[in-house]
Each structure stands twice: as structure tokens, then as C-alpha cells.
Amino acid sequence: MKIIIAPDSFKESLTAKQVCQSIENGLKRVWQDAEYVHLPLADGGEGTVQSLVDATQGEIIQCQVTGPLGHPVEAFYGRLGGELHHTAVIEMAAASGLHHVPVNQRDPKLTTSYGTGELIAHALAQGAKKLIIGLGGSATNDGGMGMLEALGVQFLDKNSHEISGNGIGLTQIESIRTDKMNTDFSQCDILIACDVDNPLCGEHGATATFGKQKGADEEDTILLDNALSHYADVIAQQLNKQVKDIPGAGAAGGLGAAFLGFTSATLKPGIDIVLQTLSIEQHLHNADLVITGEGRIDWQSAHGKTPVGIAKAAKQFNLPVIALAGCVGDNYQAVYQHGIDAVFAAIPRPFTLETAFLEAEVNMTNLAENVARTMKLSMA
């Protein structure tokens, strides 16, 4: 019996790799001789680097880069293992995330994505030929201007002076020079994990949708939305790339637009990129059962989250799929329309959130055992 264990992490309690081991420990109490395949997963957001590194026996690379406020911060990216050793995985939030900016200092006119560019440059200097970049959790609204500046792109004002890459800098751009760009993206395959479809500008754009959480007031929102529109116009005029209205261009404060305008990157849902990277079909074709999960399963899980992503892949092989969760929320049954056959929650009794985190490993192991015992009865 071959069992694929392919969960997301349980935020604040267990990594996806730890969830895999907890589930196997429980299943082994019933099926000692089964073959267990661990595929720690993520959906492109927080935890993607760790999951892919764990799944491929890669390594985490620590780097000091420029944070959103221009100060040094400790960041990281992943270099995958085995046949994927030329692939680097970057979460832009590691360098340019909102968690790097104290609440009372949040101002998207000033924050920069420069550090994300430094992570990319470091990965390429270490021999990466393929980049997987997760967008999300950004503190920035600079259209990726800071990232591009770190890679050698020059943004010039009306006096041909260089402009710093931040939100307010977007308003001053008159011309763009790419001839000094220190990265040849034509030799690099870039996949962007993007799970939002916001355009760059307008009522559903980067600023209107995400600006407030980054510190923008109403006046800032108007200013920055106009700035991104101006930025898109300059890109169209000088690079002949239309980025303003493309779904996903507004992701991570307009970082999606930077990749679309200056590289040949492809934007795809995060879980699709992760499953493709791990060659999921090779693992599924002779399996008997798939067990997935995440910390909380509810109606949102049906929209691009890890359990549904793996379930859709598994159903191509007509495999049963069981989802284990820390807890379930409103209308969790929605996932039954997307390939998941049963959902189970691990919480055995009422307790505090702190206790839930502390007991997560034990509770997942016990839950997995109970699921296996129930399935064994049906096989008798």
C-alpha cells in the first residue's frame, strides 16, 4: 500500500514536514508495512520556501539585505536539492514583507522592494537558472521599482537624475534605462506564484485593495494609484509592454507588473507551481491513498489552497483523498466539490489556541491513527 502524505504547514505550530511525520506516525500504528511518501507542500505564500526545500532535500540560504524601510534585515531564500539544484525559491516577504515594518512606521510612499532584488541577484550569482518567486505579504507599493533598481535598472526624472525605488519615486519617472541591468533574465526561467487577480491600478488595483493595510490613507491611495498608472504608461511607451490591466499585475504592491514588464516571467497559482516543481504525477500514478491537510479547512480552502490543489491532481488517478485539519470552519464541506472525499479535525476537546499549538503533533498523530482504523474496518 502506497500512501502519499501531502499537507500544507499548520501555521504557528507545525511545518509541513512535521505534519507529514505526525501523520505517518499515526498511520503506522495501523499500517506498519505501508510505503509512505512525504510531500510537504505550500500554496505559494508563507512557508513555500521551507516546504520545497524539505521536499527536495535542499537548503536555506541566509542573506542580509535591504528591508522595506531601507535598513538591513535578515532574509532567506531556498536552493532546491537533487535534480532541481539550479532552482531557487524566494518569498518576496522574506526581504520586503510587512512584518519588517512596525505598525507606526508603515507608509507605502516610502517602502521599497529593493531587498527582493538583492535576494534574486544573490540566487543568480550562486548559479540559479530557474526562479520561483512567491508574491504576497508585502509592505511595498512601489510597482517593483526597488527590486528592479537593485538589479541595475535605472529610473530617471525629467533632469535625467536617478530616482530611488519607492512609492513616491513612481511619480517622478520620466525615463527608464535597462542597458545597465546586471541580470540576463533571458537565460532564466521565472515562475511567479500569484494567487490574486488584481490589476495594477483602479478600484481593484494594488493600492485600492492592499494599500490601507500598508499604511496608506485616502490621500495616499489616490497619489499612489495615479503613480502606478503613470509607471505603467512609461513602461508601455519605452518597453512596449502593457501591464496596467493584466490580472495579477497588482500583486505585492505592483511587483507582478515589474516581472511582466521587465522579464518573461509567467504568473500562475502557487499550488500549481509547487505541484509542477515536485512532478506530482510521478508520485501519484501508482499510489493507493492521498492524505493532505492544513491548519484550518473552511470555504476558503476551495479557492486555490493546498488541499484542493493536491486533490485535483489525485483525482486524475482516481485516488481517494482525505484531508486532516487542526480545525474546520464555516462551510468546510465546499471542498467536497473539489476532489476531497472526507475531512477530519484534530481537536479532541475544548482548549485554548495556545494548547492547540502545543499539542498539535500529538493530536495529528492520534487523528491519523483513528482515520486509518476507520478505513481498515471498511476494507475488512
SS3 91: strand
d(CA 253, CA 126): 27
d(CA 119, CA 350): 43
- Rounded to the nearest 10 degrees, what angle do helices 218-239 and 251-262 cross at? 10
Percent of the chain with pLDDT over 70: 100
* Number of domains the chain contains: 2
| Same structural domain, 253 and 292 | no
Whole-prediction pTM: 0.88
Phi, psi of 74 (to 5 degrees): -90, 125
The pLDDT of 151-166, averaged and rounded, is 95
Q: Is the pLDDT of residue 43 over 90?
A: no
195 close to 45: Cβ distance less than 8 angstroms = yes
In a domain, 277, yes or no: no
How high is the pLDDT of residue 46? 84
Q: Is the pLDDT of residue 183 over 90?
A: no
| Same structural domain, 180 and 257 | yes
| Same structural domain, 166 and 235 | yes
| Same structural domain, 57 and 36 | no
SS3 63: strand
SS3 342: strand
Among residues 219, 243, 270, the one where a domain terminates is: 270
Q: Is 315 left (phi over 0), alpha (psi -120 to 50) or beta?
A: alpha
Q: Is the pLDDT of residue 147 over 80?
A: yes
In a domain, 278, yes or no: no
pLDDT digits (tens, 9 = 90+) for 199-257: 999 999 999 999 999 999 999 999 999 999 999 999 999 999 999 999 999 999 999 99
How high is the pLDDT of residue 91? 96
In a domain, 174, yes or no: yes
8 close to 16: Cβ distance less than 8 angstroms = yes
| Same structural domain, 53 and 14 | no
The pLDDT of 299-309, averaged and rounded, is 88
Percent of the chain with pLDDT over 90: 86
Please report, as a single letter, which amino acid is at residue 128: A
- Distances from the Cα of 173 to the Cα of 35, 112, 183, angstroms: 58, 15, 22
Q: Is the pLDDT of residue 13 over 90?
A: no
How high is the pLDDT of residue 136? 86
In a domain, 275, yes or no: no
| Same structural domain, 115 and 228 | yes
| Same structural domain, 171 and 147 | yes
How high is the pLDDT of residue 178? 93
CB atoms within 10 A of CB 192: 25
* Signed CA dihedral, 160, 165, 168, 170: sign only: positive
Which are the contacts of 232, defined by CB distance < 8 A and separation ≥ 6?
A: 200, 201, 242, 243, 244, 257, 261
How high is the pLDDT of residue 20? 97
| Band (28; pLDDT cuts 50, 70, 90) | very high
The pLDDT of 149-178, averaged and rounded, is 95
> How many CA atoms lie less than 13 Å away from 137 in the CB half-sphere?
20
In a domain, 260, yes or no: yes
| Same structural domain, 234 and 205 | yes
In a domain, 137, yes or no: yes
Average pLDDT, the chain: 94
pLDDT digits (tens, 9 = 90+) for 98-140: 999 999 999 999 999 999 999 999 999 999 999 999 998 899 9
* Residue at grid coordinates 539544484: 85
d(CA 289, CA 3): 5
| Same structural domain, 176 and 258 | yes
- Rounded to the nearest 10 degrees, what angle do helices 48-56 and 270-277 cross at? 10
Among residues 216, 244, 270, the one where a domain terminates is: 270
Q: Residue 242 has which C-alpha cell?
A: 502593457
| Band (319; pLDDT cuts 50, 70, 90) | very high
Q: Which CATH number do you get for residue 218?
A: 3.90.1510.10
Q: Is the pLDDT of residue 77 over 90?
A: yes
Q: Which CATH number do you get for residue 33?
A: 3.40.50.10350
Residue-range definition of the domain harbouring residue 144 = 48-270
| Same structural domain, 63 and 79 | yes
How high is the pLDDT of residue 26? 98
